[in-house]
Amino acid sequence: MADKNDSMDKIVSLCKRRGFVFPSSEIYGGYGAIYDLGPYGVELANAVKREWWKCMVQLRQDIVGLDSSIFMHPKIWEASGHVAGFADPLTECKVCHVRSRVDHLLEEAGIEADEKMSEEQINALLFANLDKIKCPSCGKKDFTPVRKFNLLVKSNLGNFADDWSKEPAYLRGETCQGIYVNYKNVLDSSRVQVPFGIAQIGKAFRNEITARQFIFRTREFEQMEMQYFTRPENEMEEYEKLRDYRWQYYTRHLGLAEKNLKWHKHKNLVFYAQEAYDIEYAFPFGFKELEGVHARGDYDLTQHAKYSGKDLSYTDPKTGEKFVPHIIESSVGVGRTVLAVLTEAYTEEDLDGDQRIVMKFPKKLAPVKAAVFPLLKNKPELVSLAKEIYDALKLDFMCEFDDNGNVGKRYRRQDEIGTPYCITVDFETLESRTVTVRDRDTMEQIRVAITDLAGWLRTNLSSDSK
Ligand code: ATP
Q: Are residues 391 and 450 in the same domain?
A: yes
Kindly indicate the confidence band of residue 159, based on its pLDDT and cuts at 50, 70 and 90.
low
Which of 119-123, 158-162, 312-316 is predicted with the least confidence, judged by mean pLDDT? 158-162
CA diameter of the chain: 79
Percent of the chain at pLDDT > 90 equals: 82
Q: Are residues 43 and 170 in the same domain?
A: yes
Rounded Cα gap, residues 304 and 177, in angstroms: 9
Rounded Cα gap, residues 292 and 214, in angstroms: 20
Q: Which domain holds residue 100?
A: 87-150
Rounded Cα gap, residues 310 and 308, in angstroms: 5
Of ligand 1's listed atoms, the one at least distance from the Cα of 88 is 4
The CA 333 to ligand 1 mean position distance, Å, reads 7
Which of 136-150, 159-173, 229-243, 312-326 is predicted with the least confidence, judged by mean pLDDT? 159-173
Instruction: Output the average pLDDT for the chain.
Output: 93
Tell me the mean pLDDT in the region 295-300: 96
The CA 290 to ligand 1 mean position distance, Å, reads 8
Quote the pLDDT of residue 178. Answer: 98
Taking the CB of residue 449, how many other CB atoms lie within 10 A of it? Answer: 12
The CA 21 to ligand 1 mean position distance, Å, reads 19
Tell me the mean pLDDT in the region 422-448: 97
Quote the pLDDT of residue 164. Answer: 56
Secondary element (H or E) of residue 381: helix 380-393
Q: Are residues 57 and 175 in the same domain?
A: yes
Tell me the mean pLDDT in the region 270-288: 92
The CA 201 to ligand 1 mean position distance, Å, reads 14
Give, for ligand 1, the residue of 336, 337, 339 to mutate: max count of ligand atoms closer than 8 Å to Cβ: 336
Quote the pLDDT of residue 112. Answer: 83
| Domain final position from 150, 173, 204 | 150
Rounded Cα gap, residues 131 and 299, in angstroms: 40
Rounded Cα gap, residues 118 and 136, in angstroms: 23
DSSP state of 367: S
- Rounded (5°) CA angle 18-24-29: 105
Q: Are residues 232 and 321 in the same domain?
A: yes
Q: Are residues 135 and 169 in the same domain?
A: no
Quote the pLDDT of residue 3. Answer: 47
In a domain, 355, yes or no: no
Tell me the mean pLDDT in the region 79-88: 90
The CA 212 to ligand 1 mean position distance, Å, reads 14
Of ligand 1's listed atoms, the one at least distance from the Cα of 208 is 27
- Contact call for residues 360 and 351 (beta carbons, < 8 A): no
Quote the pLDDT of residue 85. Answer: 84
Kindly indicate the confidence band of residue 165, based on its pLDDT and cuts at 50, 70 and 90.
low
Percent of the chain at pLDDT > 70 equals: 96
- Secondary structure class of 22 (helix, strand, coil): strand
In a domain, 325, yes or no: yes
Q: Are residues 274 and 160 in the same domain?
A: yes
Quote the pLDDT of residue 465. Answer: 47
Quote the pLDDT of residue 163. Answer: 56
Q: How many CA atoms lie within 13 A of 160 on its CB side?
A: 3
The structural domain count of the chain equals: 3
In a domain, 350, yes or no: no
Tell me the mean pLDDT in the region 160-177: 79
Q: What is the CA radius of gyration of the chain?
A: 25
Q: Are residues 324 and 224 in the same domain?
A: yes
Tell me the mean pLDDT in the region 227-251: 97
| Domain final position from 150, 167, 201 | 150
In a domain, 353, yes or no: no
Please list, in sequence order, all residues whose beta carbon lies within 8 angstroms of the beta carbon of residue 357, skipping any fewer than 6 positions away. 14, 346, 347, 348, 349, 412, 415, 416
Quote the pLDDT of residue 173. Answer: 96
Q: Are residues 64 and 167 in the same domain?
A: yes
* Ligand 1-lining residues (CB < 6 angstroms): 174, 206, 208, 217-218, 221, 223, 289-292, 331-333, 335-336
Tell me the mean pLDDT in the region 118-134: 91
In a domain, 259, yes or no: yes
Rounded Cα gap, residues 186 and 61, in angstroms: 14
In a domain, 466, yes or no: no
Instruction: Write phi, then psi, for 23 (nearest 5 degrees).
Output: -65, 140
| Domain final position from 342, 376, 395 | 342
Q: Are residues 217 and 303 in the same domain?
A: yes
Residue 335 has pLDDT above 50, yes or no: yes
Give, for ligand 1, the residue of 114, 177, 223, 250 to mutate: max count of ligand atoms closer than 8 Å to Cβ: 223
Tell me the mean pLDDT in the region 275-281: 97
Quote the pLDDT of residue 466. Answer: 45
Nearest Cα neighbor of 39 from 20, 22, 11 is 20
Which CATH number covers residue 381? 3.40.50.800
Q: Find the DSSP H helices in 158-216.
A: 176-180, 183-189
Q: Are residues 146 and 159 in the same domain?
A: no
Please give the model's pTM, rounded to 2 decimal places: 0.93
Which of 238-247, 260-269, 378-387 is predicted with the least confidence, judged by mean pLDDT? 260-269
More confident residue, 6 or 285: 285
Rounded Cα gap, residues 119 and 126, in angstroms: 11
Kindly indicate the confidence band of residue 160, based on its pLDDT and cuts at 50, 70 and 90.
low
Q: Are residues 257 and 297 in the same domain?
A: yes
Q: Are residues 220 and 314 in the same domain?
A: yes
Rounded Cα gap, residues 70 and 203, in angstroms: 7
In a domain, 349, yes or no: no
Quote the pLDDT of residue 32. Answer: 86
Nearest Cα neighbor of 374 from 419, 436, 455 is 436
DSSP state of 71: B
Which CATH number covers residue 199? 3.30.930.10
Which CATH number covers residue 107? 2.20.28
Q: How many CA atoms lie within 13 A of 415 on its CB side?
A: 20
Residue 4 has pLDDT above 70, yes or no: no
Tell me the mean pLDDT in the region 239-266: 97
In a domain, 352, yes or no: no
Rounded Cα gap, residues 131 and 247, in angstroms: 38
